[in-house]
Amino acid sequence: MGRARIRWGRFGVTLVGSLLVAGVLGVAVGQGSLAASFAVSGRQMKVSAQRIEGRGYATYPSVVTTADGRRHPVTVLAIRSARIRGFCQSAVVRTPLGRYVLRLDSAPGQTATVKNLLVSATRLDADLDFSSLQLNRDAATLDAVPGAVGNPGQFGLQALNFTVDDVKVDSWSLLSSSIRVQGFRLAIGRGERECFGSSRRAGEQ
């Protein structure tokens, strides 16, 4: 299958991780609801990667609930296993001292590996290459990633194998049964840069 350039907004395809500051979390997915086991913060994060290669992918629409009780429509990304090169995650942090950027990334040339990954997202910009693609499959019947299913009658997409290049995503949350990063770096400061720029800041309306 040839490469396709995709820029989809809400309920678009998302292939990316991750929020490492959340640590290693068990996967917990209810019907049509992502991250039912915890409330996410009131701000989104940015996640980018040079390349993601993996096996087993599925996506379907859902909602997340922020700490203020608000519910937000998202696209759920589910990955069975993948390797991520050039990983970066950033978030704007408001403090009594002003605006800071919290940034997590991997060392140049190093990779991160993930298993049983679930990510919520509201925006994606990436080059996608799928194999054995099934588009508009009923979300309740998805089986590419064990346990990752949506509500009956909802839109679903899944693929056996995938490669994603030049990934840029606005995301709310992540759950993963395993994530390992080589050359991990964490920093916060006024001079730290977000993983990528955009016309709006993640989490702001």
The one-digit pLDDT tens for each residue of the chain (205 residues) are: 444 444 443 333 333 333 333 332 333 333 333 444 455 676 788 989 999 999 999 999 998 888 888 888 999 988 999 999 998 989 998 888 888 999 988 888 888 898 888 888 898 889 989 999 999 999 999 999 988 999 999 999 999 999 999 999 898 887 778 788 878 888 999 989 999 985 444 344 3
Give the residue extent of every domain in the chain.
4-189
Q: Which two tokens stand for residue 153?
A: 């009658």
Q: What is the pTM of this model?
A: 0.74
